[in-house]
Chain A
């Protein structure tokens, strides 16, 4: 469908500022970005700003409902659990583990994925075919199963979970990066660059990366949302973070027995997980849309 521009306006802004201008116009994505930043700050400073420490027990306040409830207490805004621990503080500290560790896992995956992906993308012939089909196999192992195997080798624990998640995320990541690199390499300006005598390294660093790094950010958000869900799922299955670590999935699993008595202890960690993943996806989706729009004009 043809698009007519009535007022042709010449835009000489840099690609990045055009990106930001379009991103700003997408309000849900902007809200997602604010929540994302807030969660990152929370993950960094949670121990400083949480009202109580995570293991502080209040014997006079067991299983208090959230404070807006009739039986609630304003000292504990989101209520307490069966040991009298403040849920708000525990959830705030949980951001460090679930959200913070996911960001770290996704960052490490990014670094590894970009290195392996560009190697796979630059290679040709039998080597490239080997890379691809090796990746195919890892793609065919369900990620949770891969994580379980790694945990079976290393033993359960939060840090081992992070390694497991990195390895489980890596194949898809490498695949996407490889496709990006291959697509970029087939373009004319890269051929011209090569004819100018640029080395492979130069082509990669000067030619390919500046044109794909925004897409890498999009892939990063996808990896991040998967990482959050996986860390929480492994925590929930008692294979990841062990109580009393305040990882959101582990909190959920710990309070599973209270689901009838105190549904908020199960509901609230889930709400936070949902918000964290949703904000990440909103940012990623918004960014993808903006990149598409910018390409169109």
Chain B
């Protein structure tokens, strides 16, 4: 186990180093001045740019420059946004929780709906529940997410007026940002405004969560179904059947545990896609998260912000993957013996 941890951690280190190297090389690849791309300072005077070049060690060779870049990343000095003039790191600290919040709720919805649906589809293989779930999944899988968001807005916001169209919470309510997770903040402050703020926040969350959950739900349904079907073909299930267990016992006690193991790994792999979709969802619902900020940064050619966003989002995905794989290993005795970080 210790060797496994060591291997995983060295792999993590390698991945983070490569990621930062890629981010660093973007300074040279992006159009414009390297110093501006690095620091986010425009129109600086001669003395200022000399000081900056000194700070970023631009006169030295590329390895030293990269070392200086790494040092600043670790220190939390990620440069200044070209459009707002604020430090990029502060933007990310402020905006990332909103994205994570949305992603986590969507993932929870996906797990709560997807896994039972997948199990049902596998248990009733080739009968009508399987067929219904399968065709619905295929449709959910194929629907362009921005179109789905627009359809929901057309029906529920413009047509029925049930849900608000944009933002995290109504302008009437003022919630002190404490952890930047809006529901957590509201609960921590003891449901201000007689609980109405909480309900309002939930209403704001409803549509973006549904839109964002659509894709991971379908993926989880398909994956759970396939994994469950594989397990049900195994010999130990046949043995259990031969021993006279009924269907319910068979599925709940014997098949489910083994079928869900690969699903845990799959959940970790979903984060990368989830963040891609979150970016689109955030733009449509004006959700003040890191995705919308990134898209706006590209409209404004805000290169330091794009780099910072890339670094933060990819690190998050790497850590999420690592965490999922780690919990998979803890739960699955077979994969513990594979010392190599297998993919």
Residues on A lying within 8 angstroms of B by beta carbon are 1, 28, 132-134, 136-137, 139-145, 148-149, 151-153, 155, 175, 225, 229, 232-233, 236-239, 249, 252, 256, 259-260, 263, 266-267, 269-270, 273-274, 277-278, 280-282, 285
Instruction: Give CA–CA (A236, B310) in the complex, Å.
Output: 21
Assess whether A278 is in contact with B142, with CB atoms less than 8 Å apart.
yes
Bound: A277/B29 CA distance, A: 34
Chain A residues contacting B295 (CB-CB under 8 Å) are 148, 237, 239
- B18-A270 in contact (CB<8A): no
Which one, B29, B138, B143, contacts A282 given CB within 8 A? B138
| A249–B143 alpha-carbon span in the complex (Å) | 13
Instruction: Give CA–CA (A14, B15) in the complex, Å.
Output: 46
Inter-chain CA distance A17–B193, complex, in Å, is 69
A278 adjacent to B280 (CB under 8 Å): no
Cβ of B270 to closest chain A Cβ, rounded Å: 11
Using Cβ atoms and an 8 Å threshold, which residues of chain A touch B317?
140-142
Q: Please indicate the chain B residues that have their CB under 8 angstroms from the CB of A141 in the complex.
A: 19, 272, 310, 313-314, 317
Select from chain A the residue with minimum beta-carbon distance to B342: A132
What 3 pairs across the A-B complex have the smallest Cβ distances?
A270-B147, A278-B142, A277-B142
Q: How far is the CB of B271 from chain A (nearest CB, A)?
A: 8
Other-chain contact of A145, B139, B294, B318 (Cβ < 8 Å): B294
Q: Does B36 contact A (CB under 8 A)?
A: no
Q: Does B249 contact A (CB under 8 A)?
A: no
- Contacting residues of chain B (298-343) with chain A, CB-CB under 8 angstroms: 298-299, 301, 303, 306, 309-310, 313-314, 317-318, 321, 343
B233 at interface (Cβ–Cβ under 8 A)? yes
Could you say which residues of chain B place their CB within 8 Å of the CB of A266? 150, 154
Contact between B138 and A144, CB atoms less than 8 A apart: no
Q: Per-residue CB proximity of B232-275 to A under 8 Å, as 1/0?
A: 11000010000000000000000000000000000000001101
- Measured between beta carbons, the chain A residues less than 8 angstroms from B124 are none
Question: What A residues does B15 contact at CB under 8 A?
Answer: 133, 136-137, 140
Extra contacts, 11 of them, besides A141-B19, A142-B313, A232-B146 (Cβ < 8 A), are A137-B22, A144-B279, A145-B275, A149-B26, A149-B306, A152-B298, A236-B146, A237-B280, A266-B150, A267-B151, A270-B147
- Are A142 and B273 in contact (CB-based, < 8 A)? yes
CA distance A89 to B313 in the complex (A): 40
B contacts, CB < 8 Å to A: 11, 14-15, 18-19, 22, 26, 29-31, 135, 138-139, 141-147, 150-151, 153-154, 158, 232-233, 238, 272-273, 275-276, 279-280, 283, 294-295, 298-299, 301, 303, 306, 309-310, 313-314, 317-318, 321, 343
Nearest neighbor of A153 in chain B, beta-carbon distance: B29
Take A134-B18, A233-B144, A277-B142 as given contacts and tell me if A148 and B306 are in contact as well, using a CB distance cutoff of 8 Å.
yes
- For B215, the closest partner residue in chain A by CB is A229
**Cβ-defined contact, A152 with B139, below 8 A:** no
Contact present for B142 and A145 (CB under 8 Å): no
Query: A145 with B276: in contact, given A140-B317, A140-B321, A263-B154 (CB under 8 Å)?
Result: yes
Whether B150 lies near A225 (C-beta < 8 A) is: no
Interface contact A239-B298, CB-CB below 8 Å: yes
A241 to chain B, nearest CB (A): 14
Secondary structure at the A interface, as helix, strand, loop or mixed, is: helix
Nearest CB of B to A290, in Å: 15
Asked if B280 and A281 sit within 8 Å, CB to CB, the answer is no
A97 to chain B, nearest CB (A): 15
22 chain-A/chain-B pairs, Cβ below 8 angstroms: A28-B135, A133-B11, A136-B15, A137-B15, A137-B318, A142-B314, A144-B279, A145-B279, A145-B294, A145-B314, A148-B306, A152-B306, A153-B29, A155-B31, A232-B146, A249-B146, A259-B153, A266-B154, A269-B147, A273-B144, A274-B142, A278-B142
Q: Is the CB of A153 within 8 A of B276?
A: no
Check B30–A140 contact: CB distance below 8 A: no
CB distance from A192 to the nearest CB of B (A): 27
List residues of chain A with CB within 8 A of the CB of B275.
142, 145
Q: What is the minimal beta-carbon distance from A209 to any residue of chain B, in angstroms?
A: 23
A270 to B272, CA, bound (A): 24
Q: CB distance B280 to A143 under 8 Å?
A: no
Closest CB in chain A relative to B144 CB, distance in Å: 5
Distance (Å) between the CB of A178 and the closest chain B CB?
10
Q: Give bound CA distance, A143 to B232, whole Å.
A: 35
Question: How many angstroms between the C-alpha atoms of A133 and B275 in the bound complex?
Answer: 21
Is B26 in contact with A252, judged by CB distance below 8 angstroms? no
Min CB–CB distance B300 → chain A (angstroms): 11
Cβ contacts under 8 Å, A270 to chain B: 144, 147, 150-151
Report yes or no: A1 in contact with B310, Cβ–Cβ below 8 A.
no
Contacts A1-B233, A143-B272, A260-B158: A149 and B310 contacting too (C-beta < 8 A)? yes
